[in-house]
Amino acid sequence: MELILHRFELPLQHTFTISRGSVDVQETMVVELRHGGHAGFGEATTNSYYNATLEQMVADLRRIEPLVADSTPEDPEQFWQQARGELADNPFAHCALDMAMHDLWGKVRGEPVYQLWGLSTDSVPASNYTIGIDSIDVMVEKMQQQAGWPIYKIKLGTPHDLEIIAALREHTDAVFRVDANCAWSVEETIENSRAMQELGVEFIEQPLPAEQRDEMPHVKQHSMLPLVADESCIVEADVDRCAEGFDVVNIKLVKCAGLTPARRMIQRAQELGLKVMVGCMTESTVGISAIAQLLPMLDYVDMDGAALLAEDIADGVKVKQGICHYPDVPGCGVSLLKDGKIPVTE
């Protein structure tokens, strides 16, 4: 196989703000694997919270080029394990490689990845559309510009969180999900859950900082709404750690290192009686198309990353007003619309 790396800057439709900061343009890396006339693609965005830089991802993937050159797209899980030794400290890069291998695997075999896993897309959950933190008027305007989505995820972590939800509720009957991104205290979470239950909120995602996981069982006992682990659920071992304090785990492919470990995390969560969500970063259709392969296994999904962009770099799975539309293309269904090839000398 041949390894090709691409760098892109993804412009957003609006400034995207969460409790930790804002972004207008998202840097991302796309891995391309070529074999026998086929090309598979995977993606990992940069992320300062998780120390994921483009430079480190590129350096680590260049280091394993000999492994890639000696491999074939016969067994993505085996390939993931072979790459693990070199990429254990860089799950974002490992994720992009794993996505690309799955896309290539499916294209070589002429079937979508989900079908090769024995899954059907006849019944899959709808995605939410995410509204970043802003003034209340602007948040209402953003939601109205994206009218028709069945679910909106509202980013919170301000002194006016309840006012935001109450104001948005005046303009839609859609389901709301809220995500505090670690910004609340124990008391705030419990109090907000009571008020938000009355405002049609479905669940609360990551209310406390990840390091306060031991306080979550108390929060869960008193919360009026289900609680979702995001920053508290990164790697496979975290699923068990979240069982007492959360009702749902939100698995991010870049955090856990790809589709291969994500499938194991889904299975383990289900064994523990937890519901499962897969979430996205602010990413292109490359990453969203990989998430789509997991949809039949999920209770909830947040795969609006490409819908937040002003301009996409790829074709593949499309999410329109929450509904996932699969292309008639094997693998994850991805093709690049632009060339962002990084010279080997970089």
Which residues contact residue 150 at a Cβ distance below 8 angstroms, ignoring those fewer than 6 apart? 126, 174, 175, 321, 322
Q: Are 54 and 29 in contact (CB under 8 A)?
A: yes
The structural domains of the chain, with segments of one domain joined by +, span 2-113, 116-325
Look at the pTM and tell me if it is higher than 0.85. Answer: yes
116-325 matches 2-113 in CATH topology: no
pLDDT digits (tens, 9 = 90+) for 304-329: 999 999 999 999 999 999 999 999 99
**pLDDT above 70 for 152:** yes
DSSP assignment string, 86-118: HHTT-HHHHHHHHHHHHHHHHHHHTSBHHHHTT
| pLDDT bucket at 346, cuts 50 / 70 / 90 | low
CATH number of 2-113: 3.30.390.10
Average pLDDT over residues 18-39: 95
User: Do residues 72 and 1 touch, judged by C-beta distance below 8 A?
Assistant: yes
- For 241-275, the pLDDT digits (tens) are 999 999 999 999 999 999 999 999 999 999 999 99
Which fold is adopted by the domain 116-325? TIM Barrel (3.20.20)
The pLDDT score that the predictor gives to residue 333 is 98
